[in-house]
Amino acid sequence: MKRKGISQLLPFLRLFKRQWLMMGVGLLLSITTLMAGIGLLSLSGWFLSATAVAGLTVATAQAFNYFSPAGGVRFLSIARTASRYGERLATHEATFKLLTELRCWAWRKLMPLSASDLQAVRGGDLLNRLVSDIDTLDHLYLRLITPMTASLLMIGALYLFLGWFDATLALTLCGVLLALWCLLPLIFYALGHRPGIAQLEAKRDFRVLMLEYVQGQAELTLFGALPRFRAELDRAQTKLFASQAAMANVTALSQAALVLCHGLAVVLLLYMAADGVGEHLPPGPMLALVVFMTLACIEMLMPLAGAFQHLSACVMAAERVNEVALQSPSIIFDEQAEHRVSHGALSLQQVDFAYTADRPVLKGVDLTLQAGDKVALLGQTGCGKSSLLSLITRQWQPQAGSIMLDGVPISAYSEKHLRQGMTVVSQRIYLFAGTLRDNLTLAQLDTQTESQTQGLSRAARQEAQAANDKLLVEVLNKVGLSTLTQGDKPLDTWIGEGGRQLSGGEQRRIGVARALLRDAPLLLLDEPTEGLDQRTEREILALLFEFAQDKTLLMISHRLTAMAQMDCIHLMENGAIRQSGSHQMLLQQDEYYASLQRRLV
């Protein structure tokens, strides 16, 4: 059942228990700061008034103790400064630790989610939730819990202190403060809830559009859509400014109401204390103490003005993060499983799959690969080839049927062992913003290459690194990227985000190079030579077949290059395998396949 309102914050409040010590220190220092500030102003008011009264006669002036109150003022001034500094250090340290906890918690919740779980979330929106919304949640402790709790505890302390002199004045002052503490945040939370949601949604929409605008500059320019997209971005910006203005109006109203209520409280206490403070008749300096104490309470009331705004933002941010993070993964791995992929034998039986219920993609697919088989899936775009591959890699889950790997259901493998057992070259090669070495060693991260360097001396690690670099350069040369291996430190070449500094063909060759660096028994190729010319395609496929000589290979393609080397070829159409056979058999029996061969020649 979906949480509503403030209950959305419960998962994050539970995380706060891990930082209770630093949070407690921050709260204690916040209370100390408020006590020192109120005490400083109250004592100063009393001291000035008492000094003035004592100076009316020579006798009282000589008898008055100036030094103790003066020392108290200096002490409280220093204490306030020191506690404020310590409070900022402690609360911000706690905030940063809480922010770390929140990010780690969100990522731990996000990582098990598959493509099917995140299909309804845009990439920019997901980024906004993981960055901006989690940043908003750090206000929960720093702007809400600490100042509100400190204010509440200070109200109790004020009652005890002022009640020592006059119980009626203490009850009046603390009653007014408690009423403001309870009512103002609730009233302005209700008033600011809708503008707060509008502001967060407008900010999200603007950031998503901005990200798409920056990433799609080339396409927008080539198709002449830049002015139209820019106009849409401007509208989103105008909407954001309007929502910020609406929220600023509510904030200004809350601050004005707080100042007004505080002013009325000062007038009320001045009126009541004018008749006397406890046994002090006339009140004299005690009147100044009460009035200045009431004036000093503005410091602990100020967080009330913004509490509604931070609460509204935190609830909305928590709702958006929970919407993603509290999903139950549709694909669950058994991380305790000990099964390992050793041969790569693959079997699919009566597999049905659909992204949506009304549009089936795969219908009763049967496919068997013995260990060491070389098998191809051919078919036109949209027939379900890549969807079949995504089921084998467990990015999606079939609605019916079974998928076995080495005679074991793929659901019985841990994610680590399943990933170690297969190498995938997908249609879309993603390159990270880093060096050439970073993008190649990605394929070696879960192998023993890195673990073997642990515990070695620095010289030994450098030697191992040099040997691995030599291997990377050899692989780059094999896939035809010798132009990138020139110079003193070619592997330190920065290739930019998404491989912007490389051509499409070079990016695809790096994807092939990653496959050659990964020794797994099952090799899955999804259009591995897409975008390459025929000559380069033959060279790359020959290299892959040599690499997969002792491996099980499943290749998805819509072209016939290297099909003669396949043990079996399956032709797919409308989500089902309509015919299977060898290259020569299909040339004789299937007109569509023969037409593809004539086109190749």
How many other C-beta atoms can be found within 10 angstroms of the C-beta atom of residue 517?
Answer: 19
Q: Please tell me the predicted confidence (pLDDT) of residue 78.
A: 94
Q: Summarize the confidence of residues 12-41 as an average pLDDT.
A: 88
Within 216-364, residue ranges assigned H as helices are: 217-222, 226-273, 285-296, 298-325
Q: Summarize the confidence of residues 348-365 as an average pLDDT.
A: 88
- In this predicted structure, the answer to whether residue 229 has a pLDDT above a threshold of 50 is yes
Q: Please tell me the predicted confidence (pLDDT) of residue 591.
A: 83
Do 307 and 367 lie in one domain? The reply is: no
- In this predicted structure, the answer to whether residue 448 has a pLDDT above a threshold of 50 is no
Do 415 and 282 lie in one domain? The reply is: no
Q: Summarize the confidence of residues 218-247 as an average pLDDT.
A: 90
Residue 478 to residue 42: CA distance in whole angstroms: 81
Percent of the chain with pLDDT over 90: 24
Do 536 and 479 lie in one domain? The reply is: yes
Do 503 and 534 lie in one domain? The reply is: yes
Residue 86 to residue 25: CA distance in whole angstroms: 9
Q: What is the CATH number of the domain that holds 302?
A: 1.20.1560.10
Are 384 and 364 a contacting pair, CB within 8 Å? no
Average pLDDT over the chain, rounded to an integer: 85
Within a domain: residue 19?
A: yes
CA distances in angstroms from 530 to 181, 226, 297, listed in the order given = 66, 29, 71
Q: What are phi and psi of 380, to 5 degrees?
A: -70, 160
Q: Please tell me the predicted confidence (pLDDT) of residue 4.
A: 57
Do 498 and 557 lie in one domain? The reply is: yes
How many other C-beta atoms can be found within 10 angstroms of the C-beta atom of residue 465?
Answer: 12
Quick one: tokens of 529? 């030579």
Do 387 and 454 lie in one domain? The reply is: yes
| 268 Cα distance to chain centroid | 50
CA distances in angstroms from 40 to 25, 160, 161, 162, 488, listed in the order given = 22, 17, 14, 15, 68
Q: pLDDT tens, 554-565?
A: 999 877 888 888
Domain endpoint, select from 292, 325, 358? 325
- In this predicted structure, the answer to whether residue 403 has a pLDDT above a threshold of 90 is yes
Q: Please tell me the predicted confidence (pLDDT) of residue 498.
A: 77
Count of structural domains, the chain? 2
Q: Please tell me the predicted confidence (pLDDT) of residue 450.
A: 47
Do 288 and 355 lie in one domain? The reply is: no
Within 326-435, residue ranges assigned H as helices are: 385-392, 415-420
- In this predicted structure, the answer to whether residue 499 has a pLDDT above a threshold of 70 is yes
Reduced to 3 states (helix: H, G, I; strand: E, B; else coil), residue 315 is helix
- In this predicted structure, the answer to whether residue 271 has a pLDDT above a threshold of 80 is yes
CA distances in angstroms from 586 to 467, 558, 562, listed in the order given = 46, 14, 14
Q: Summarize the confidence of residues 169-186 as an average pLDDT.
A: 91
Within 406-452, residue ranges assigned H as helices are: 415-420, 436-441, 448-451
Do 321 and 372 lie in one domain? The reply is: no
Within a domain: residue 331?
A: no
Within a domain: residue 332?
A: no
Q: Summarize the confidence of residues 29-34 as an average pLDDT.
A: 92
3-state SS of the chain: helix, strand, coil percent to 5? 65, 10, 25
Do 318 and 353 lie in one domain? The reply is: no
Within a domain: residue 592?
A: yes
Q: What is the CATH number of the domain that holds 540?
A: 3.40.50.300
Do 396 and 258 lie in one domain? The reply is: no
Do 83 and 127 lie in one domain? The reply is: yes
The parent domain of residue 580 ranges over 346-600
Within a domain: residue 330?
A: no
Within a domain: residue 334?
A: no
Residue 465 to residue 469: CA distance in whole angstroms: 6
Do 268 and 365 lie in one domain? The reply is: no
Residue 205 to residue 242: CA distance in whole angstroms: 14
- In this predicted structure, the answer to whether residue 1 has a pLDDT above a threshold of 50 is no
Domain endpoint, select from 325, 358, 381? 325
Q: Please tell me the predicted confidence (pLDDT) of residue 409.
A: 92
β-strands 576-581, 568-573 pairing: antiparallel
